[in-house]
Homo-oligomer: A and B are copies of this chain.
């Protein structure tokens, strides 16, 4: 019956309708075995009749805690982060928690607003890929009692749990691969250069370059303003502008979006990939393998990243003897047509 008399039905209404006490209704909800079968069905019928929905606020107020985990994503439109979210979700599901996603869209104010709300909601824990991992806001969150784990970033002091992927190693793998294929002049494309990710990948690239005994100046750095497709195209134009003799024969891009932009610009301007320009991306998003020339890329264990982060935050939430730890995953190079001619 749709008896909507202003407010929603409460346990009290259900109790009245079923002719039992309010404690019994609660028992039906939480410990059905303690209630006789006949009463139980009577109560359940009353609930259905009245369209009763348990009020989570009241429940939580009493219980003191929610059954929710939250992930504040840096950029919901980057497939990398949605994959991470899927990993988190699988761990949350296993722990019988539900996951809510928030999107900061790379904006610090939005991130702060989301974090404030999540604290107020007393979520069990927060996972976040922060705009700035060094921000004091993160400390504040934990100081106020909400467990927090940093995802795909690390903090210089080791004051938080974090999960990330070894970006230096990733950079090394990419450049070693290119060196193996005989390239002796390579461009690194990425930026802003102050981002931890970009810095580390470049550093790894330089290590591999030096290890191969190649002259430092032949690893050219093209700094970009963002890690998106448009910037990839721009970088491509800058490459095309170079005289042939000084033009790199391969490019290592700090993420796949850049690589896809570069690829597009290259093909559009008649450059053959990989014959004239080999390309390595980073992240191995689903669109990398679906590119017209399937992209060689450095794969990160995205789902596992998420899953592990969720497990850490749960440990922090439930285990008194919790120790912060910084988990570092190992990336893996996936070679495809964009570097493999013939």
Contact = CB atoms under 8 A, between A and B. Distances in A.
Contact of A144 (B51, B66, B268, B287): B51
B291 A292 contact: yes
A85 interface: yes
Interface string A74-110: 0011010011011001000000001111110100000
Interface in A127-158: 143-145
Contact of A229 (B53, B105, B286, B293): B286
B290 A261 contact: yes
Interface residues of A, number: 59
A231 B99 CA distance: 30
A31 interface: no
Contacts of A53: 119-120, 144-145
Nearest to A291: B292
B57 A122 contact: yes
Contact of A267 (B56, B143, B292): B292
A7 interface: yes
Interface in A273-306: 286-287, 289-294
A324 B89 CA distance: 34
Interface string A50-78: 01011111111100101000000000110
A264 interface: yes
A61 B63 CA distance: 14
A311 B292 CA distance: 39
A73 to B, nearest CB: 9
A246 to B, nearest CB: 25
A77 B292 contact: no
Interface string A17-57: 00000000000000000000000000000000001011111
The 9 A-B pairs of least Cβ separation, nearest first, read A292-B292, A56-B120, A101-B101, A57-B60, A100-B100, A57-B57, A57-B61, A51-B144, A229-B290
Given A76-B85, A291-B291, 7 more contacts: A53-B145, A55-B120, A89-B105, A257-B290, A264-B290, A267-B292, A291-B292
